[in-house]
Structure 1
Amino acid sequence: MRLYAVTFGIAALAAGVCGAQEDRSGWPASFTVGTASQGGTYFAYGSGWANLVADELGLSGGGEVTGGPMQNMALVHTGDAAFGMTTMGPAAESLAGTNPIAPGLAMDKACAMFPMYQTPFSVTALSSSGITSISEIPDGARIGFGPAGSTSDTYFPRMMETLGVNFERRNGGWSDLGGQLQDGLLDVIAFAAGVPVPAVSQLEVQTDVNIIEFTEAEQATIMEAFPVSEFEIAANTYTTLEAPARSVSMWNFAIANCDLPASFVKAVVDVVMSDNERMVGIHRAARSTVPSNWDKNKVMPWHPGAAEWFAENAGADIPADMIYGQ
């Protein structure tokens, strides 16, 4: 896949930004953050914190459009991207060597860096379709599942099949799929993205949509079959919602190449985690980007620099066997 860099900041005047005594031995002069497709939460969130870190640390850095969590694990593992973002499901599959991008390769050079937010799984259709529930999705419906290999594309088709939905699978970036839904080329979009999803917010401005929640029984079925937890999309997330919408979710974490200098990763974590209000200004999903959520990672080894920051600032008691190189 061709990557398009969105770069921010400059390397000039880098020295002294984080204190005159700071040891920057081995730090890269620039960095990239693997995100996902434009129109999705990963791109907005990831490009935002890349910009913030570049500005604060005086480096050249930015976000890259990618195929999402699975590809980000591969890019960070190989070092083609210093940082990336992933969800717990794709992370576990990548560590086990079942990432479809490189079957058989255990991607153990991608380390946990900081908690981001939960990814709710939600369904959107045009109001004119008359679809108001999962059970009303017609046989053979054309469903957009996001970019190939994304969290949504990896898990949502399986979820739909588990719930007895028969569909035609379509892939693409969220913005593109939103346009196809509006043009009648799709019947439903199955989103797995932090809320509010920019593509859904844009659709709300342009047309009437139904944001479809899971029933209690559907939610229980999905939670039993997949590595997800109970979630509720708040009513104020979208103008369309009049009440909270029942959903399921999967945690997202920022990841770093495990061989990056500990002092560099610690400094990046400090920029992101030390001012939540600033992060929420980048994207509302960052309300969950707080130090106390460090314990939501039960899959990936921690980068030593990140583990040190959370031990010092969040009282994290991370087992040694969960820290890379220890």
Structure 2
Amino acid sequence: MNLRHLVTGAALLILCIMVGCSLAEKRQEIPSPVTHHPLPKPIETSPTPLLGKSITIATGDISGVYFPLGQALASTYGQYGGAFTGTRITKASIENTRLVREKKAELGFATVDAIASEEHALSAEKQPLVPSQLCALTGLYFNYIHIAVTKKSGIHSLKDLTGKRIGMGPIGSGTELSAERILQAAHLTNDTQKHYFSFSQASQALRDGVIDAAIFSSGLPNPDVSSLANDVSLTLISVPESVITELQRQYPYYLKKSIPAKTYAHLQSDIETIAVKNVLITYRDLPTDIAYELTKDFYTYLPELYDAHLAAREIDADQAGKNIYLPLHPGAARYFEEKKQKQAN
């Protein structure tokens, strides 16, 4: 091989490397926050209003309940409705309300306390008041507050958290909101060391002794609490009656409920706590026929969500409009009215 061929080959090699690096840099500059689900061939033969529509669902942390339910729901809308679907990993409730309000997602999971907090903050900023941009597609299941500690921690009650290191959930999450309110109602706001972790991070921090307690707001069972209960000597502490009463005085949407002992390994008794409803939200001006079809498919194929998480078994169409704070979207309301009439006939 002569010198000219060597020089030419080297130049081509350098050019290819430069082009490749340039393309790689460009790819790295483009964020990809939405995971798109491949579109299977729709099972329904007749066209539906969802056919070819883009539906993005704002979910939550991958270790929570919103994420697997969002994945399953996206697959349902793609398989049966022919929609182009995507899911978005988020910090959950509060971020989801903002994404849906800004129409960066068609659907999102959120707790009622987070929705109410966001709506109140938004209305306080705007004079005169404007109607909410959010509607509910349906109420879902309840989130239960878990206050998890290890048995060797010596923590037996909420009062014992004084001076302790507590995992509060991610900053800006519904878990953080609930945790702050519980500590405030228990007069512990300034007497604790707060750490802001995702569910999986809080679980590991509790396991490693980095924190003394972790607060989770989640459907039952929470995967990380289940893992902790199996790996370490874990227990949950109850929310006292006085704290529940104070919370309900300020925020009526918090309900007194119990986490059954059978939910997690080694629990000796039911755990008294507070719970708050989850809602599948959308924006107000989503076309009525789309909202109707999304609601209809949700309930028609609800059993397919059961495999994603046991919390889906709590979802009941007859309770869809209760304790949800927001009005139902007109398309969703139409579906529930039709269902009610069919049951009456």
What is the TM-score normalised by the length of structure 2?
0.81
The 3-state SS of whatever aligns with 1:282 is: coil
Name 1:153's counterpart in structure 2: 176
Residue 76 (str. 1) matches residue 105 (str. 2): no
Relative to 1, partners in 2 of residues 1:288 and 1:36: Cα closer, same or farther, differing over 3 Å?
A: same
1:36-75 aligned within 5 A: 36-75=60-99
Q: CA deviation at 1:230?
A: 1.1
Say which one has the larger Rg.
2
1:1-326 aligned within 5 A: 4-10=33-39, 13-14=41-42, 17-20=43-46, 22-23=48-49, 29-98=53-122, 104=126, 108-137=132-161, 139-165=162-188, 166-227=191-252, 228-314=254-340
What is the TM-score normalised by the length of structure 1?
0.85
Question: Conserved in 2, the CA contact under 8 Å of 1:148 and 1:171?
Answer: yes
Q: CA deviation at 1:20?
A: 1.7
CA–CA distance in structure 2, aligned partners of residues 130 and 226 of structure 1: 31
Question: Conserved in 2, the CA contact under 8 Å of 1:69 and 1:87?
Answer: yes
The 3-state SS of whatever aligns with 2:320 is: helix
Q: CA deviation at 1:115?
A: 1.2
Q: CA deviation at 1:164?
A: 2.5
Aligned AA (1:109): Q
**Which structure 1 residue ranges, 5 or more long, are not aligned?**
317-326
CA–CA distance in structure 1, aligned partners of residues 174 and 313 of structure 2: 21
The 3-state SS of whatever aligns with 1:256 is: strand
CA–CA distance in structure 2, aligned partners of residues 184 and 225 of structure 1: 34
CA–CA distance in structure 2, aligned partners of residues 246 and 281 of structure 1: 27
The 3-state SS of whatever aligns with 1:115 is: strand
The 3-state SS of whatever aligns with 1:299 is: coil
Question: Conserved in 1, the CA contact under 8 Å of 2:93 and 2:110?
Answer: yes
CA–CA distance in structure 2, aligned partners of residues 63 and 13 of structure 1: 19
The 3-state SS of whatever aligns with 2:71 is: helix
CA–CA distance in structure 2, aligned partners of residues 154 and 189 of structure 1: 14
Q: CA deviation at 1:145?
A: 1.3
Q: CA deviation at 1:107?
A: 8.0
The total of aligned residue pairs comes to 307
CA–CA distance in structure 1, aligned partners of residues 192 and 77 of structure 2: 42
Aligned AA (1:54): G
Aligned AA (2:91): G
CA–CA distance in structure 2, aligned partners of residues 209 and 3 of structure 1: 38
Relative to 1, partners in 2 of residues 1:167 and 1:63: Cα closer, same or farther, differing over 3 Å?
A: same
Relative to 1, partners in 2 of residues 1:290 and 1:3: Cα closer, same or farther, differing over 3 Å?
A: farther
Q: CA deviation at 1:141?
A: 1.3
The 3-state SS of whatever aligns with 1:295 is: coil
Q: CA deviation at 1:290?
A: 1.2
Question: Conserved in 2, the CA contact under 8 Å of 1:229 and 1:249?
Answer: yes
CA–CA distance in structure 2, aligned partners of residues 66 and 103 of structure 1: 25
Question: Conserved in 1, the CA contact under 8 Å of 2:52 and 2:82?
Answer: no
CA–CA distance in structure 1, aligned partners of residues 203 and 327 of structure 2: 36
CA–CA distance in structure 1, aligned partners of residues 155 and 122 of structure 2: 35
Q: CA deviation at 1:129?
A: 1.0
CA–CA distance in structure 2, aligned partners of residues 50 and 190 of structure 1: 29
CA–CA distance in structure 2, aligned partners of residues 194 and 211 of structure 1: 15
| Aligned-residue CA RMSD (Å) | 2.5
Aligned AA (1:153): E
* Deviation string, structure 1 residues 127-183 (Cα, Å, up to 9, x no partner): 22121221222x321111111111121131121122132212211211111111111
Percent identical residues? 24
Question: Conserved in 1, the CA contact under 8 Å of 2:72 and 2:304?
Answer: no
Name 1:319's counterpart in structure 2: none
CA–CA distance in structure 2, aligned partners of residues 134 and 141 of structure 1: 11
Q: CA deviation at 1:200?
A: 0.7
The 3-state SS of whatever aligns with 2:326 is: coil
Q: Which runs of 4+ in 1 moved over 6 A?
A: none
The 3-state SS of whatever aligns with 1:96 is: helix
